[in-house]
Structure 1
Amino acid sequence: MFDRSRPGLQTHPLSHGYSAAEHFLAGGAVNLRPMTAFDAEKLRTFLNELTDKSRRERFLRPVSEMPDYLLRSLTRLNGRRHVAFMAEATEEGSKRMVGEARYAVDPEHPGEAEFAIAVDDRWQGRGIAVRLLDALENRARTGGLRRLFADTLDDNHAMLSLARRCGYTVAANRREVGVKRLVKDLAASSALH
């Protein structure tokens, strides 16, 4: 189903009121769309195929394979308090997940949400993470959130660089050694959009 008012945008039927966009990147077309519970097996495959280093950076600790309880938690999406986007590329005639980004609203601070992002190692450096993060920020703003934050490992230079380029402040995490806290005030940055 296509949104004729916005060329190049494709509406996903389970998108909770926001559209997916086709982006053309180096190496082929990548479709960004909201993730749903029906994408659980795609998510499992994607996370299991990440390198050990990328899984460690995504979860802040070594994770060898996705346990069922974690997969269930990551696919309990409601489009408001827990939102996720996925990037899919067409490879050899079939769609393959190459990135994911999500946020979950902090229950103690309902105007804030913690986010996470991961891109398939073979697809890194092509702008997918920037587009996923932009989609998250736009959804968070329209959902009334004031702030996004994330923790990342000190040695995750790609994430630290991405965060700085996208306007996040980077500071030491007071509770965990070897971890940095990334924070962005969405209200202050909304004037730029």
Structure 2
Amino acid sequence: MLRTQLARVLRDPERKPPGDGVEIRPARMNDEERLRRFLAGLSLRTQTLRFFTGVSRPSASMVRAMIAVDGRRDVLLAVHEDVVVGHAMSFAGSGSDVEIALVVADEWQGRGIGSRLARRLLRRAGASGARTLGMDVLCENRTVLSMVRRAWPEATMKATSGTVEVTVAMDP
């Protein structure tokens, strides 16, 4: 059901060509430098929409945290020709079973890569028993908020201090 909902939302004739040749795979510890370059290459707007601030010089500890996988976290990368073009992570949530966050390189946005990352991440979370999904979205991120509203009309959205806390029940 989740896949059907996202597929319906993402059918848009104005979308850019698909992200052909992009592999979605789990992050590895040797991805640290690739991820650092990816983060540093994001526009200030994209950085702000994902991290709520600019991160033009991501710290080593931040990069390590973004590729660390353990029993509470999962991390996927979208990679094209050995270059990271997208990052998605899930982690055990406080108000939901799993919270997700993702970002796609500016030049790769609108090609379905974020959707592919989200679907794969949510499938993996569901297989691990997650039944509720949460995410924090900046109020100005109309693209993501519109997608959430179309994909999950039943989602609870609570605006707090410039962000929207989204909570939705995942389909089994």
Is this a same-fold pair by TM over 0.5? Answer: yes
AA in 1 matched with 2:49? E
C-alpha distance in structure 1 between counterparts of 2:157 and 2:19, whole Å: 34
| Conserved? CA contact 2:39–2:55, under 8 Å | no
Moved over 4 A (4+): none
Q: Residue 158 of structure 1 is aligned with which of 122, 143, 152?
A: 143
Q: How many residues align?
A: 155
TM value normalised by structure 1: 0.73
Consecutive unaligned residues of structure 2, counting only runs of 5 or more, are 1-16
Aligned AA for 1:72? R
Cα distance between partner residues in 2 of 1:170 and 1:60: 21
1:102 pairs, out of 89, 107, 114, with: 89
Q: Counterpart of 1:145?
A: 130
Equivalent pair of 2:19/2:113 in contact (CA under 8 Å): no
Aligned Cα root-mean-square deviation (Å)? 1.9
Q: Structure 1 residue 82 and structure 2 residue 73: aligned?
A: yes
TM-aligned CA deviation for residue 170 of structure 1: 5.2
Aligned equivalent of 1:26: 18
Answer with 1 or 2: which has the greater Rg.
1
2:158 match: 172
What amino acid is the match of 1:83?
A: D
Q: Equivalent residue of 1:74, what SS?
A: helix
Please identify which structure carries the higher helix content.
2
CA distance in 1 between counterparts of 2:102 and 2:88 reads: 4
Give the distance between the partners of 1:39 and 1:98, measured in 2 at CA.
Answer: 12
Q: What amino acid is the match of 1:42?
A: R
Equivalent residue number for residue 128 of structure 1: 113
Per-residue deviation at 1:70? 1.2
User: Partners in 2 of 1:172 and 1:65 — Cα distance?
Assistant: 31
- In the TM superposition, residue 127 of structure 1 has moved relative to its aligned partner by 0.6
Asked if 2 retains the 8 angstrom alpha-carbon contact of 1:87 and 1:128, the reply is yes
2:53 counterpart SS class: coil
Note the alpha carbon deviations across 1:119-168, whole angstroms, 9 max, x for none: 01101111111111001110001111121211011111222133234327
SS of residue paired to 1:97: strand
Q: Please, what TM-score do these two structures have when normalized by structure 2?
A: 0.81
In terms of fraction of residues, the more strand-rich structure is 1
Indicate which of 22, 42, 47 corresponds to 2:39.
Answer: 47
Q: Which runs of 5+ in 1 are unaligned?
A: 1-24
Contact 1:84 1:101 in 2 (8 A): yes
